[in-house]
Each structure stands twice: as structure tokens, then as C-alpha cells.
């Protein structure tokens, strides 16, 4: 985490985000969810007192996207996020969001309704995250995708599942 990220997280209240991904035949895909305002985002939220930041990120993935998987213990990036609108009493609030990679093993129905979890390739995810946002925040979210791709590509590819029946000619794979 760089000096700018440290200053962000030291001055602002922070949340955590689960940057949910999977590796498919067409490359890396990201799981995004709808906000109450209809924009695409990562599953994110506050940290419950009994959870570590990475556990809180995994919890947000489950609640908002129905996603379960392996979450990194350390965040890979901190980005700036705004919440609210200037014409309401609370106005616009800014947060530093610690982003955690979560490799999705299983995706089901989210606990929160109307989140519409949807898979996007990296370019589609950046386009979706740019929609209906000020440039400042859309750049922040696009940087998250770029850094996530770099981080994921630097990891070893997962091993294929072992074959059932002990012989490759059977062609069946375990789940």
C-alpha cells in the first residue's frame, strides 16, 4: 500500500470491499452488484466489531452478491468512494475503501434483494463502474480493476480438478 493510500485511510472513515473474481475460459471476470441508486459497484460495507477487515469483506460478498470463496487476508488497494447526495440532510460522505480480492468458489442468491449480481470481463466491468459517476470516482474504480488484474495474473493458475475413476480416458471431473 503506497503513501497516498495510507493518507486516505488515515483521514477518512473506511469500509471494505470484496473484489470478487473468477478465472474462466474467456479470462478474468468480476462480480459486480447494483447499488440502491442503480449503479454497479463491488460488494462493500462497514466492518462489524467481531470481524477482521478481510472477514468483513467476505461477509459483504455473501450478503450482497451471494458469493463464497477464498478472500485474501490483506487488502491490495485503497480507493476513494462517495456515498449520498448533496441535497439530502447527510449530504455526500467520502470513505476510504480497502479492497480485498475474493476468488469466488460458489455464487448463489444474495441475502440482500435487488442487488442483481452480474459477471463482467475486466473491460466490461470498467465500463459498468464508470456509468453515472463523477470522473474522480470512476477513475478510482477502474484503477481497482486494473490493479486486481495485475495482482491476479501474478498468481499461479489453480490446478485442474483431479479425474474421477483414476483414468484420463473416462473424461469425468470431480466437482
Superfamily for the 3-170 domain: Nucleoside Triphosphate Pyrophosphohydrolase (3.90.79.10)
pLDDT digits (tens, 9 = 90+) for 120-171: 999 999 999 999 988 888 999 999 999 999 999 998 876 665 555 444 444 4
The predicted-structure confidence for 57-115, as pLDDT tens digits, reads as follows: 999 999 999 999 999 999 999 998 776 555 556 666 788 999 999 999 999 999 998 99
Question: What is the model's pTM?
Answer: 0.81
- C-alpha torsion angle, residues 83, 88, 89, 92 (rounded to 10): 30
The three cell numbers of residue 76 are 491490495
Residue written as grid cell 473506511: 14
Confidence at residue 147, expressed as pLDDT on a 0 to 100 scale? 98
Residue 30 bridge partners (DSSP): 21, 120
User: How far, in Å, are 99, 113, 156 from residue 130 at the CA level?
Assistant: 17, 23, 30
Q: Are 122 and 30 in contact (CB under 8 A)?
A: yes
Amino acid at each position: 500500500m503506497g503513501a497516498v493510500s495510507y493518507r486516505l485511510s488515515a483521514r477518512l472513515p473506511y469500509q471494505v470491499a470484496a473484489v470478487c473474481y473468477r478465472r474462466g475460459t474467456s479470462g478474468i471476470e468480476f462480480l459486480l452488484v447494483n447499488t440502491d441508486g442503480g449503479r454497479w459497484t463491488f460488494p462493500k460495507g462497514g466492518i462489524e466489531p467481531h470481524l477482521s477487515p478481510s472477514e468483513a469483506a467476505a461477509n459483504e460478498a455473501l450478503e450482497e452478491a451471494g458469493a463464497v470463496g477464498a478472500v485474501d487476508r490483506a487488502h491490495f488497494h485503497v480507493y476513494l468512494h462517495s456515498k449520498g447526495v448533496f441535497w439530502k440532510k447527510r449530504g455526500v460522505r467520502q470513505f476510504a475503501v480497502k479492497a480485498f480480492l475474493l476468488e469466488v468458489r460458489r455464487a448463489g442468491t444474495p441475502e440482500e434483494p435487488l442487488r442483481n449480481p452480474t459477471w463482467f470481463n475486466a473491460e466490461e466491468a470498467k465500463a459498468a463502474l464508470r456509468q453515472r459517476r463523477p470522473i474522480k470516482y470512476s477513475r478510482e474504480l477502474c484503477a481497482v480493476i486494473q490493479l486486481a488484474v495485475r495482482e491476479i495474473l501474478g498468481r499461479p493458475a489453480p490446478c485442474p480438478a483431479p479425474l474421477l475413476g483414476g483414468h484420463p480416458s473416462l473424461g469425468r471431473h470431480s466437482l
